[in-house]
Amino acid sequence: MHNWEPVIGLEIHAQLNTRSKLFSPAPNRFGDEPNTNISAVCTGQPGALPLLNREAVKKAIQFGLAIHGKISLASSFSRKSYFYPDTPRNFQITQYEDPIVRSGSVTLDIEGNTRSFPIKEVHLEDDAGMLKHFTHFAGVDYNRAGAPLIEIVTEPCFRNSKEAAAFAMEVRSILLYLDACDGNMEEGSLRFDANVSVRRVGETVLRPRAEIKNLNSFSFLEMALAGEIERQIALYTKEPNRPWLELIPPGTYRWDSSLQKTILMRAKESADDYRYFPEPDLPPIFLSVEMIDRLRDELPELPRERFRRYISDFSLSEHSAFVLTREKKLADYFEAANRICQSPKNLCNWMIVEFSGRLKESGKSLVETAISPEQMASLVRMIDSGKLTGPMAKQVADKMVLSPGKSPEEIVQGNPDFQPLDNAQEIEALIDRVMQANPQSVLDFQAGKERAFGFLVGQVMKLSQGKASPSLVNDLLRQKLSSK
Ligand code: ADP
Ligand code: MG
């Protein structure tokens, strides 16, 4: 394995979240009754003419600017011919010779190293419909036919599956920050094709590649890449003298997650097979420098910038900053709550550790629950001000998850379980009981074992059912022990 170097290039299809489709006014919406969001254009009726969606062009340019790509002042569409029932026109309208964005790169931090991955191009194209298989028949749903896509094509720049997956995650985040795509991978809004080859370390040529189509999760992407890399190395090792093209016939593969294997679906079509030619029904897209400059000026803060800012302004760890900034909605939630409680580290911990743990089973993200940033901020404030001890706050958090919409104040109000014990006399009584029950620990402490102190604090907290104010317990216990 260590004599071999994997070479990976990604093609990412991202569905743009415009209101209407790329070339027709039909709604661009997922989840409706089949064949309701369609028009003469999406269903390829003879004579129907495409009309380009300005919003889709704008989102493609914004993405191009976000990756520091070169925006083409003139770009054009081509027909890519193929027959399949999901494409009633028998061709896809895509950009072939003049894509809207050329070059660019995405920079990210991987295991402590900053790396920049070059992008070859980004082009606009329309999506196909979807085949649906039932027990005795198959149908086709054209609701997705004509939905706007950008295809992001990287150079063969990744050297392992982790890099490729990290890149894909960053692209998803950028799209979310631009509000260009909903990023919903289960619904297919973001799909990855992975091109994989391997070569001997030091070799400069590229060997034949397998193209694994339609991976729709980061873990499938990573697994498929790792599996395919291993498969190719094994083939080359077993038959070192066989022609490469026989060992790895270029073509379209799919990842079978139950077999944990890539499977060849069809040998590679060449560009000739698609018979690309300029789309006669659409004029080229001409852009003005002013428009591009304006869009550049209006670019929002992007995930990596926000990630950096959270580390420098809030002193969050890289890991915390990363988790918070992956999804813009979560980061916005954090900022809204932090404006109120001004306690970034504690707030971050409650959001990404305590609450995400409690929500894991439901599969929901915090932003999808009825727990508002204001309520989150209240909880953190109550902890910071000593109104709730840690253990009590955890119980309040349980209840916030179980009865979403209820504020922590409402949960705490009138409930004796949530009144912290901050009466010195009562706490002293508990301390006395703990010291009597644990004479050895008292002796240990007096002999200089600091650990015994922590143990005794823990016992007092336990006896108070988590309600005693930890700082008061600390102070009083130290007083008692040293006066003994
Ligand atoms: P095509 O014209 O067949 O679509 P492209 O040149 O557009 O091919 O490349 C498609 C993707 O495959 C790109 O992401 C590119 O980086 C990647 N790629 C090309 N050749 C190789 C190779 N030998 N090994 C791995 N990836 C490759
Ligand atoms: Mg290509």
- Among protein residues, the one with the nearest Cα to ligand 1's atom 24 is 197
Distance (Å) from CA 10 to ligand 1 centroid = 8
- State the average pLDDT for the chain: 93
Q: 140: left (phi > 0), else alpha (psi -120 to 50), else beta?
A: beta
Q: Would you state the pLDDT for residue 17? A: 98
How far is residue 249's CA from residue 199's CA, in Å, rounded to a whole number?
15
How do the domains of the chain map onto residue ranges? 4-290, 303-418, 424-482
Tens of pLDDT, residue by residue over 85-114, are 999 999 999 999 999 999 999 999 888 889
Atom of ligand 1 nearest to the CA of 196: 25
Inter-CA distances, 344 with 220, 371, 380, 387, 436, Å: 34, 18, 10, 18, 41
CB 4 within 8 A of CB 199: yes
- Among protein residues, the one with the nearest Cα to ligand 1's atom 2 is 271
Q: What is the mean pLDDT of residues 120-148?
A: 95
- Among protein residues, the one with the nearest Cα to ligand 1's atom 5 is 153
CA angle (76, 78, 81) in 5-degree steps: 170
The structure tokens listed for 308 are 């950096």
Inter-CA distances, 163 with 156, 158, 229, 321, Å: 12, 6, 14, 19
- How many residues belong to the chain? 484
Tens of pLDDT, residue by residue over 14-48, are 999 999 999 999 999 999 999 999 999 999 999 99
Distance (Å) from CA 121 to ligand 2 centroid = 9
Q: What is the mean pLDDT of residues 442-471?
A: 89
Split at pLDDT 50, 70, 90, the class of 269 is: low
Q: Which fold has domain 424-482?
A: Arc Repressor Mutant, subunit A (1.10.10)
Distance (Å) from CA 155 to ligand 1 centroid = 7
Distance (Å) from CA 263 to ligand 1 centroid = 19
Q: Would you state the pLDDT for residue 484? A: 66
How far is residue 333's CA from residue 366's CA, in Å, rounded to a whole number?
9
Atom of ligand 1 nearest to the CA of 11: 14
Ligand nearest to the CA of 229: 1
pTM of this prediction exceeds 0.85: yes
Q: Would you state the pLDDT for residue 1? A: 63
